[in-house]
Structure 1
């Protein structure tokens, strides 16, 4: 994947991420005060009960990441539509690789899927969209990235909390500090969990005493499945479907806050993309989602769409995961 495309895809996720909303405007801090800030952080963490050995190890090579500050303050400015985003997020090679990876890990995926109540194809799709099946997890030192983002100042409280969680992960021995790599904002491993998500949802599935979302496939898959299960995933429905709406459709109804039965949407003129009637199920409520406008793609979003939005609050991200999961389920020859 070339750098332009990678930047394009990253922007969609980062612009929509819960950690990057409601930014405040403050004077940008340069690197000259970073060392003093690190020392202050270490004293505060020591007072909060972290061991001196943990802090010395964690901050031994801490450095100011200008790249993190630049990425946070200078998000790419360009117009995206779902029709331009999806082919880049899910190119044909990625769809084929998703099927290959599903088949390679099928026994483990089905075991985890049955235990957590999550269809394995969604685990693989998340893995593929987040980190290209583990091949692009970010090579930045997580402690340095989080400390930089806290020092930068616009969301210091949030990133300090994430830094404290990261220190706990180090102190509990889940990962060696030199292997604790992630994105410029501190998202870690093949699941791209922020440290707080790691603390809440990461699983030691292989039973080795560590929750290793960097290198253990069992831990990676089970952690993703545990997250989805915890936010209300259902394994008896899919994520959603592309649909057609009538010309006179009331745009105010297009919201995840509006839930109606499939029969009610049918009455309002919503149809499958091929024009046929919606499925007949009394146990499903759904929302209509229009990521761009009525001339673009329209989705009927089921319960699992909401769960994926908890993972990343971007309709584009959810559509990419859903589309890739469908390609795993119905691979093209």
Structure 2
């Protein structure tokens, strides 16, 4: 009996361990784009998207090489939280946030009453995501998502988002030419992926379109609706900087550990200025953003966890909280 070759044995092992998944993905991407696009169009038609919408959205669509470059070359270096905060919450953004809060106070407070999300958090998210609507991305969303859906690396996810984007066009919320966003398909002043748009975007100004590109009312209400439906608590803040006692057991840090504020007080945790923690019956966790550096720590509540549903980064959620605090000062 002929023994299996070393190469065949290695392939078998790779199949069992899942190491061939990238190879399979690459094979899927080898289908010519034009052929792949015909199949995509057929699936969209089956979902009820109108032929005229597909004609307008897909006419002349070609892969964008720059999108693949950006997807492949996302930075691997790690910033400390202090470096990240300096970039994301600079003094200029705080000042602009205060101006925008004052400028849109009446609208923001109206939306806050309806959705139960404090205005400062809406403005902070707006500021961090797009610098208050200034940097929304210039990539055509349909072409970007088609590029990533055909590529194969994360084709299933981006195919779903592409079909969602086509549905948004079919509902008449925006034109294909105006549907711009990031290279990965995040759209408008709130940088919603198409699935988030369909789930959370709001037509607050009542013009029949959920316009997160141009309507401040829709942008603010959509962000508030996202947070509200994700579990936001209007009677709480996000958290606060704290001072840890000498010898603090760092195994207690992290979202997996929740304790009443009073228990953290008993363990020696204090506000950043050394004063006692709030006398509230809230469950809280301790976050040390740079592992092993307990000199900078935060006590966080449920609204911090809700912010993580928007972006699963502790750095991002901390920046939103800190910017919101600074805007409100």
Give TM-score scaled by structure 1 length.
0.88
Aligned residue for 2:97?
98
1:184, CA displacement in angstroms?
Answer: 0.8
1:1-333 to 2 correspondences below 5 Å: 25-26=22-23, 27=26, 33-282=32-281, 284-295=282-293, 296-330=295-329
Residue 13 of structure 2 corresponds to none
The Cα of 1:32 is off from its aligned counterpart by: 8.8
Contact 1:28 1:152 in 2 (8 A): no
- CA 1:242–1:90: 2 relative to 1, 3 Å: same
Report 1 or 2 for greater relative contact order, CA contacts < 8 Å, sequence distance ≥ 6: 1
Deviation (angstroms), 1:251 = 2.1
Q: Deviations over 1:49-75 (max 9, x none)?
A: 222111111111322122221222211
Question: Partners of 1:108 and 1:315 in 2: how far apart?
Answer: 29
- Find the structure with the greater CA-based Rg: 2
Aligned-residue offset at 1:269: 1.6
The answer on whether the counterparts of 2:261 and 2:280 sit within 8 Å (CA) in structure 1 is: yes
Q: Is the 8 A contact 2:29 2:150 kept in 1?
A: no
Q: Deviations over 1:147-170 (max 9, x none)?
A: 111111122111111111111100
> Are the equivalent residues in 2 in contact too, given 1:31–1:64 (CA < 8 A)?
no
- Quick one: structure 1 residues 31 and 192, their matched pair in 2 at CA, closer, same or farther if it must change by over 3 Å? farther
Q: Give the SS at the match of 1:288.
A: strand
* Structure 1 outlier segments of 4+, above 3 Å: 24-32
Give the alignment's TM-score, normalised by structure 2: 0.89
Which whole-Å CA distance do the structure 2 matches of 1:63 and 1:138 have between them? 19
Whole-angstrom CA distance in 1 between matches of 2:321 and 2:106: 22
Q: Name the CA distance, whole Å, in 1 between partners of 2:67 and 2:154.
A: 13
Tell me how large the CA RMSD over aligned residues is: 1.7
